[in-house]
Amino acid sequence: MNVLLIHQYFLEENDSGGSRWNEITKIWGEKGHQITVLGGMMHANGKEKQTEYKGFFFKLKQQGNVKIWRCHVSESYNKSFIGRLWGYFSFMFSSIWAGLFKAKGKFDVIIVTSPPLFVGFSAYIISRFKRVPFVFEVRDLWPESAIDTGVLTNKLIIKLAYWFEAFIYRRAELINVLTPAFYSILKNDKNVPESKLIMIPNASDFSLSENLLQTFDAAAFKKEQGFEGRFLITYVGAHGVANHLEQILEAGKALEDTNVLFLLIGQGMEKERLKTLAVEMKVKNVKFLDPVPKQEVFKYILASEMGASVLKRVDTFKTVYSNKTFDYMSCKKPILMAIDGVSRELVETAEAGVYVEPENIQAYNTIIRAYLNDPVRLKAEGENGYRYAKQNFDREVLAQKYLNRIEEIIRK
């Protein structure tokens, strides 16, 4: 099978961040399928283009078995809302051009993953010219999430976004959603035929964790990093408006009489402001770290007592799974889940951690203190999460399931 994937945030080889599609394409490539990716030249949380892309509109790269056409994204992407909007549109235009004139060969299917929503138009145009079906993937409900976080307020743009969303849903041959809540919303609220819907969620990457679980010396790593004697709670992910990481700073302040240390690993538009706020608040037990490659991230998780999944308290986020939750599970770490809805249900069903109400600092304080002197609970919940993820969220198994459904639509 020859697959064209359109993914604005497809990661570089050693990038940090959500690596869902890097892992899926690697698995498919190892099975003998041909994969070409149209990816952006700006990281989702990066401040500027990497040096190797400056002055280029397109650049061809090879990543294992995967061929990648890096496409232009405006460097205004992280400067303002209008800049980000233009970043989306610039990739939409550049990916259409690359799909029509750069990516050579006969493709069997086009897969496009959103957000941003506008990449759906790239897939639609390319699919019409190439005369192949396209699969649309919903990683986040948009524009709902942008509206609820206050990022999107213009009524005309909101109306246009909803119209465009419905247009793409009609034109896609298959729609993959990442959570059961998305499935229900598309089926019941957005009137998408159930015959079009599948659910291949985020998953755990056991290829990294299982080797490290056998060989990694967490105590030595803690000592090396200066974390010896600390109860580590690690958050890995974006530092954006949607994450509202002020709640971690406030929780840290409430727990400053304990040995708790919060590690915040990642990048985003809010990071510098949060670092300044931490200084103003005189928070001593929250440490900011720059993004690191996934293998290094797993070392920090394995050296931690808990992993944190955190989002702002808005209703739309009750529909999402945090992708890092599955990494915590694969590393046998209990989860501090500050996201209500399906993410809370996941952790409670798996008995793999605890729900803390987002932005409720008293809840953070009470719940974390209960864990401080309970190593038996920490170990048991970590093991529970690992077993549950192995049974239900193994990346290898889900990648094959995804492939099977795509092959069905190609045969039709």
* Residue 362 clears pLDDT 70, i.e. is over it: yes
What share of the chain in percent tops pLDDT 70?
97
* Residue 245 clears pLDDT 90, i.e. is over it: yes
Please identify which residue in the block is written with the tokens 């961040």: 17
* Residue 263 clears pLDDT 80, i.e. is over it: yes
- For residues 126 and 221, state if they share a domain: no
The tokens for 76 are 């205004």
Give the per-residue pLDDT at 147. Answer: 83
What share of the chain in percent tops pLDDT 90?
76
Peptide bond into 201 cis (omega under 30): no
Give the per-residue pLDDT at 400. Answer: 95
- For residues 154 and 237, state if they share a domain: no
**pLDDT digit string (tens) for 89-101?**
999 999 999 999 9
* Domain limits for position 355: 206-392
- For residues 177 and 282, state if they share a domain: no
- Low-confidence winner among 52-61, 75-84, 261-270 (lowest mean pLDDT): 75-84
Give the per-residue pLDDT at 190. Answer: 94
* Residue 230 clears pLDDT 90, i.e. is over it: yes
- For residues 173 and 296, state if they share a domain: no
**pLDDT digit string (tens) for 128-164?**
999 999 999 999 888 888 888 777 788 888 898 899 9
Query: Residue 250 maps to which CATH number?
Result: 3.40.50.2000
* Residue 78 clears pLDDT 70, i.e. is over it: no
353-375 CB burial, b ≥16 within 10 A, e <16:
bbbbebbbbebbbebbeebeeee
Give the per-residue pLDDT at 214. Answer: 87
Task: Enumerate residues 6+ apart whose C-beta is below 8 A from 278.
Answer: 249, 286, 288
Q: What mean pLDDT is predicted for residues 366-380? A: 97
The amino acid present at 385, given as its one-letter code, is G
Give the per-residue pLDDT at 32. Answer: 94
Give the per-residue pLDDT at 81. Answer: 67
- Low-confidence winner among 48-52, 224-228, 345-349, 372-376 (lowest mean pLDDT): 48-52
**pLDDT digit string (tens) for 28-42?**
999 999 999 999 998
**pLDDT digit string (tens) for 274-302?**
999 999 999 999 999 998 888 899 999 99
- For residues 179 and 240, state if they share a domain: no
Peptide bond into 143 cis (omega under 30): yes
- For residues 166 and 53, state if they share a domain: yes
- For residues 91 and 26, state if they share a domain: yes
- For residues 149 and 231, state if they share a domain: no
- For residues 71 and 87, state if they share a domain: yes
- For residues 128 and 266, state if they share a domain: no
- For residues 111 and 84, state if they share a domain: yes
Domain count, the chain: 2
Burial label for 281, CB within 10 Å (0-12, 13-18, 19+), is middle
For the chain, give the mean pLDDT.
93
Which residues pair with residue 266 across a beta bridge?
Answer: none
Which residues pair with residue 310 across a beta bridge?
Answer: 338
* Residue 18 clears pLDDT 70, i.e. is over it: no
Q: pTM for the whole thing? A: 0.87
Give the residue among 240, 259, 377, 255 at the shortest CA–CA distance from 310: 240
Do 125 and 81 touch, CB atoms closer than 8 A? no
